[in-house]
């Protein structure tokens, strides 16, 4: 037996090694990991796993590790949705789920808001935007409902250890640019088939970002086709955790990639050169700088979803909308990402700025982003949206068009009635 | 698990997303209703004309987007016997195998033409194109996952596992 030469591990590899009880893991290896946290929501959750768990005669492995959020069918718009929500509540009760947030916000925002995430954790969620948790140094991936049944029954899951891409961003973002623009640029640059990769974001641009913006990076790793996104914790991370009333894990800051780890690829970007980006229908990959677009009329502007309706997103929109009005013939709809987001925006005056500009406030929830709540778009209509996906038909009619952009650009376009560069309005 | 029945190839391009496969507005409907709208935004006749045993062909990133398992389940509901693509989105890939739907990564998927007669041997990873008189060797499904596929999906696999454990407990 030979002693292997010690080489460093990436952050993702370290977490998977710990969760699988192995000294180390190598990319490509299939390992079985124990779950620290399981996230479920009303759409893919109880209604899809209840009968299957019964069929297995299995109970939830550890109800204290499960967080359940009603966010997709809220508030109920018809009897079918109401039944789904009623089933969700009943299941939470019957299974003594410790953390059930009913209509309080979108699951990916509720997890950090309530202090459920810690660096070094291994978690899964029944939703493709589960990589959002990576902003807190958590390794978190999305899974489907049958898989969720297995997870709930056994408390474990198999994972193929992924390669890691290092994405380094340095420089200061221009005023009017944000994490969303970085992600749209990446969708255009790296494409959407980065299968089985972990995107590790780092560099001075990331260090300077608040947690909301870091969440956007990890959230939209899903659009890159990646397994997940992750960012090593720093003081910004631990400060956030403390503000939620929780204590950061003692080893929080030690969960980071070793200097001599192996990245499959390394990319470096100068963010000071980045312009606001807009993705044309019907793919996030169709992204280009805002100033390359011909004047394109927008019937609707939408600020919503886990990607684009957190407090910082509302702040961006308010900066653009302050003292301005939404253009005639354009409707601006805003669905804050959580009830606490609305509360904070009301307290700091943001909500008044938005509504004075003519924004229509919608209930908290996944809403129109997933084609489920209020705000669907008609045949032939164009919508510019702070959400993450513009797949054909996602927000309504199969013959509608969704453009993706940052909250700055969505707000500027609402004012102009067409695709508009927010930098001009912020200067004025 | 070995399947040798012939089916018609239905060819689609790159990045066939989960909103196309399982449109959001029908997500609270029954599976049969949801499946009747599968891929209608780009190919309205698909759900009505497909017959049991047909094969869906994709490019890269097949199944990208949501974690909604109904994207794979709608194809099972419509009788699709396998999906062959150059690459799959990871959640879709897992969902499909968990539901017992064979999904095969095939570099030459683009050589298959719409309407070709195809048969698939999932165990061997072999795709035969009867129309063109050729065959394609696909990437094998990892051995760790073949146990799930061979059981017919994750639920039958877990049932075996749980009944074995319960049996062991009573001994």
Report domain extents, chain A.
11-269, 278-426
Q: What is the pLDDT of residue A320?
A: 98
pLDDT at B170: 46
CB A383 within 8 Å of CB A351: no
Position A6 pLDDT exceeds 80: no
State ipTM: 0.91
Of the pLDDT bands very low, low, confident and very high (cuts 50, 70, 90), residue B2 is very low
Per-residue pLDDT tens over the stretch A35-90? 999 999 999 999 999 999 999 999 999 999 999 999 999 999 999 999 999 999 99
Q: What is the pLDDT of residue A279?
A: 98
- Cβ contacts of B72 on chain A, cutoff 8 Å: 144
Cα of B75 vs its chain's centroid, Å: 7
- Shortest CA gap A391–chain B (Å): 7
Q: Is the peptide bond before A282 cis (omega within 30 degrees of 0)?
A: yes
Residue A310 has pLDDT above 60, yes or no: yes
Nearest to A391 among B19, B25, B159 (CB): B19
Binned at pLDDT 50, 70 and 90, residue A329 comes out as very high
Q: A120 pLDDT exceeds 50?
A: yes
Task: Look at the domain B4-170 and name its fold.
Answer: Aconitase; domain 4 (3.20.19)
Query: What is the pLDDT, as a whole number, of residue A106?
Result: 98
Contacts of A105 (CB under 8 A, 6+ apart): A69, A71, A113, A337, A338, A339, A340, A341, A364
B90 part of contact set with chain A, CB < 8 Å: yes
Region A30-38 average pLDDT: 97
In this structure, are residues B64 and B72 in contact, taking their beta carbons and an 8 Å threshold? no
pTM: 0.95
Whether residue B1 is predicted with pLDDT greater than 60 in this model: the reply is: no
Residue B169 is predicted with a pLDDT of 52
Q: In what order do the strands lie in the sheet with B103-105?
A: B103-105, B82-85, B55-58, B6-11, B117-121, B126-129, B134-137
| B64: nearest CB among A147, A158, A225 | A225
Residue of A41, A282, A393, A399 to mutate when probing chain B, most B C-beta within 10 A = A393
Tell which A residues from 281 to 310 touch B, by Cβ distance under 8 Å: 283, 285
Pick from B64, B67, B155: CB nearest A52: B155
Establish if A232 touches chain B: CB-CB under 8 angstroms.
no
* CATH (residue range A278-426): 3.30.499.10
Which sequence spans correspond to the domains of chain B? Answer: 4-170
Q: Residue B167's pLDDT is what?
A: 66
Give, in order, the Cα–Cα distances in Å from A176 to each of A125, A154, A173: 32, 47, 8
Q: How many CB pairs under 8 A join A and B?
A: 132
Sign of CA dihedral A219, A220, A222, A227: negative
Q: Which of B20, B40, B154 sits opposite A150 (nearest CB)?
A: B154
Position A1 scores a pLDDT of 46
**Burial class, A29, CB count within 10 angstroms (exposed 0-12 / middle 13-18 / buried 19+):** middle
A158, B155: Cβ pair inside 8 Å? no
Whether the per-residue pLDDT at A2 is higher than 60: the answer is no
| pLDDT tens track for A385-416 | 999 999 999 999 999 999 999 999 999 999 99
- Using N-to-C axis directions, what is the helix angle for A179-190 and A211-219, rounded to 10°? 20
Residue A341 pLDDT greater than 50, yes or no: yes
Residue B168 banded pLDDT, cuts 50, 70, 90: low
Query: Could you tell me if A401 lies within 8 Å of chain B, comparing CB atoms?
Result: no
Q: Model confidence at B165, in pLDDT bands (50, 70, 90)?
A: confident
In angstroms, the CA B18 to CA A129 distance is 13
User: Which one of B61, B64, B69 has the shortest CB-CB distance to A146?
Assistant: B69
* B15 neighbourhood in chain A, CB within 8 Å: 192-193, 283, 285
Between chains, do A81 and B27 touch, taking CB under 8 Å as contact?
Answer: no
Spatial contact of A362 and A339, defined as CB atoms under 8 Å apart: no
Task: List, for residues B73-120, the tens digit of each pLDDT value.
Answer: 999 999 999 999 999 999 999 999 999 999 999 999 999 999 999 999
Task: Tell me the C-alpha distance between A393 and B151, whole Å.
Answer: 36
Q: Using 50, 70 and 90 to split pLDDT, how confident is the model at A377?
A: very high
The per-residue pLDDT for range B28-77, each reduced to its tens digit, is 899 999 999 999 999 999 999 999 999 999 999 999 999 999 999 999 99
Cα–Cα dist A74/A119, whole Å: 30
Q: What is the least distance, in Å, from the CA of B109 to any CA of chain A?
A: 16
Q: Give pLDDT, residue B141.
A: 87
Cross-chain Cβ contact A283/B90 below 8 Å: no
Query: Which CATH number applies to A11-269?
Result: 3.30.499.10
Q: How many CA atoms lie within 13 A of A172 on its CB side?
A: 2
Strand B103-105 with A382-385, pairing: unpaired
Give the pLDDT confidence of B126-138 residue by residue, as tens digits. Answer: 999 999 999 999 9
pLDDT at B155 over 80: yes
Residue B5 pLDDT greater than 80, yes or no = no
A contact residues 129-188, partner B, Cβ 8 Å cutoff: 130, 142-147, 149-150, 153-154, 158, 160
Taking CA–CA distances from A398, the nearest residue in chain B reads B41
């Amino acid at each position: 037996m030979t002693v292997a030469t010690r080489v460093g591990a990436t952050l993702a590899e370290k977490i998977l090694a710990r969760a699988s009880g192995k000294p180390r893991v190598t990319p490509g290896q299939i390992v079985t990991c124990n779950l620290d946290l399981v996230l479920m929501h009303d759409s893919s959750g109880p209604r899809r796993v209840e009968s299957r768990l019964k069929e297995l005669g299995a109970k939830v492995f550890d109800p204290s590790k499960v967080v359940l959020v009603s966010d997709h069918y809220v508030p109920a718009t018809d009897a079918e949705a109401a039944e789904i929500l009623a089933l969700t509540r009943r299941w939470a009760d019957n299974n003594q789920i410790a953390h059930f947030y009913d209509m309080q916000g979108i699951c990916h925002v509720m997890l950090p808001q309530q202090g459920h995430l810690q660096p070094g954790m291994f978690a899964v969620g029944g939703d493709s935007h589960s990589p959002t948790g990576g902003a807190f140094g958590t390794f978190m991936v999305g899974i489907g409902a049958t898989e969720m049944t297995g997870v709930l029954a056994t408390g474990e899951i198999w994972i193929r250890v992924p390669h890691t891409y290092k994405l380094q961003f340095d420089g200061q973002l221009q005023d009017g640019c944000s994490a969303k623009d970085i992600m749209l640029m990446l969708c255009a640059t790296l494409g959407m088939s980065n299968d089985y990769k972990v995107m590790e974001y780092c560099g001075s641009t990331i260090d300077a970002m608040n947690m909301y913006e870091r969440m956007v990076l990890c959230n939209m790793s899903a659009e890159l086709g990646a397994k997940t996104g992750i960012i090593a914790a720093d003081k910004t991370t631990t400060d956030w955790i403390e503000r939620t009333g929780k204590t950061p894990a003692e080893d929080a800051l030690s969960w980071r990639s070793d200097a001599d780890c192996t990245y499959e690829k390394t990319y470096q970007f100068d963010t000071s050169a980045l312009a606001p980006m807009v993705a044309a229908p019907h793919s996030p990959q169709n992204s280009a700088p805002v100033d390359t677009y011909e004047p394109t009329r927008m019937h609707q502007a939408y600020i919503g979803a886990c990607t684009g309706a957190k407090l910082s997103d509302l702040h961006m929109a308010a900066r653009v909308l302050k003292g301005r009005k939404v253009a005639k013939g354009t409707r601006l709809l805003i669905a804050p990402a959580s009830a606490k987001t609305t509360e904070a925006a009301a307290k700091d005056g943001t909500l008044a700025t938005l509504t004075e500009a003519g924004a229509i406030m919608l209930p908290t929830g996944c809403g129109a982003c997933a084609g489920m709540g209020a705000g669907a778009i008609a045949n032939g209509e164009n919508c510019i949206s702070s959400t993450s996906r513009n797949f054909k038909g996602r927000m309504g009619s199969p013959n509608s068009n969704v453009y993706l952009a940052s909250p700055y650009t969505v707000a500027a376009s609402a004012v102009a009635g067409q695709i508009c560069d927010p930098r001009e309005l912020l200067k004025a | 698990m070995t399947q040798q029945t012939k089916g018609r190839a239905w060819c689609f391009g790159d990045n066939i997303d989960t909103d196309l496969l399982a449109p959001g507005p029908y997500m609270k409907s029954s599976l049969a209703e949801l499946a009747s709208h599968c891929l209608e935004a780009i190919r309205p006749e698909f759900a009505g004309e497909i017959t049991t045993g047909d094969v869906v062909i994709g490019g890269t990133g097949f199944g990208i987007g949501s974690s909604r398992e109904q994207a794979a389940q709608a194809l099972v509901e419509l009788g699709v016997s396998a999906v062959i693509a150059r690459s799959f989105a990871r959640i879709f890939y897992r969902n499909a195998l968990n539901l017992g739907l064979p999904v095969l990564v095939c570099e030459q998927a683009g050589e298959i033409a719409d309407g070709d007669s195809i048969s698939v041997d999932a165990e061997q990873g072999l795709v035969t194109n009867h129309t063109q008189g050729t065959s394609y060797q696909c990437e094998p499904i990892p051995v760790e996952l073949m146990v799930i596929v061979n059981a017919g999906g994750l639920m039958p696999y877990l049932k075996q596992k749980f009944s074995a454990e319960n049996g062991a407990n009573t001994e």
